[in-house]
Amino acid sequence: MRGEYKAYAESSSRIAQAYLCSSGGNTVRIRLLDDKGYLTIKGPSVGISRFEWEMEIPQADARALLGLCKGGVIDKTRYRVPFKGHLFEVDEFYGDNEGLTVAEVELASETEPFEKPDWVGEEVSDDPRYRNSHLLSHPYKNW
């Protein structure tokens, strides 16, 4: 993915995230997004859709919970890039995942039409290697 998206980004945030558990497609994630903390629970994928529940938690609690997570921490910058009526979230990874950049767009349904920007590359929605929980145990540098 080319870096052109940065020129069009309306904002960006630094993210640190790790997993309290990840099993059978279910994950419990802790995230620090700039100065805010979040607890997120995700269910298994059904097609390219997935149940997600998220709650903001105090930053100090998120930092403490990150310390309980095993397997490391994902470190990335997220760029929010509007494009033709949709918002693309582009994650640029660091550390063991340096060199990996992934774009995601939230849709109302899997069949909602959208135009893909020129700077978006290969479609990887169905490839579990690109899930953050997978990148901790199988980092991009080892692919």
Average pLDDT for 42-66 = 92
The 10s digit of each residue's pLDDT in 15-53 is: 999 999 988 889 999 999 999 999 999 999 887 788 999
**57, pLDDT greater than 80:** yes
How many angstroms separate the first and last alpha carbons of the chain? 17
pTM over 0.95? The answer is no
Q: Which pLDDT belongs to residue 49?
A: 82
Measured CA to CA in angstroms, residue 65 lies from 35, 61, 73, 124, 141 at distances of: 15, 6, 12, 30, 26
**125, pLDDT greater than 90:** no
**110, pLDDT greater than 90:** no
Backbone angles phi, psi at 37, to 5 degrees: -110, 150
| DSSP calls for 117-140 | PTT-----TT-GGGSHHHHHHS-G
**Kind and range of the H or E run holding 116:** none
For residue 131, give both structure tokens.
């899930």
Alpha-carbon distance of 4 to 41, in angstroms, equals 32
Alpha-carbon distance of 121 to 143, in angstroms, equals 18
Catalytic sites, residue numbers: 19
Q: Which pLDDT belongs to residue 1?
A: 62
Measured CA to CA in angstroms, residue 29 lies from 40, 43, 52, 135 at distances of: 5, 11, 11, 13
On the CB side of 66, CA atoms within 13 Å amount to: 21
Full set of structural domains in the chain with CATH: 5-142 (2.40.320.10)
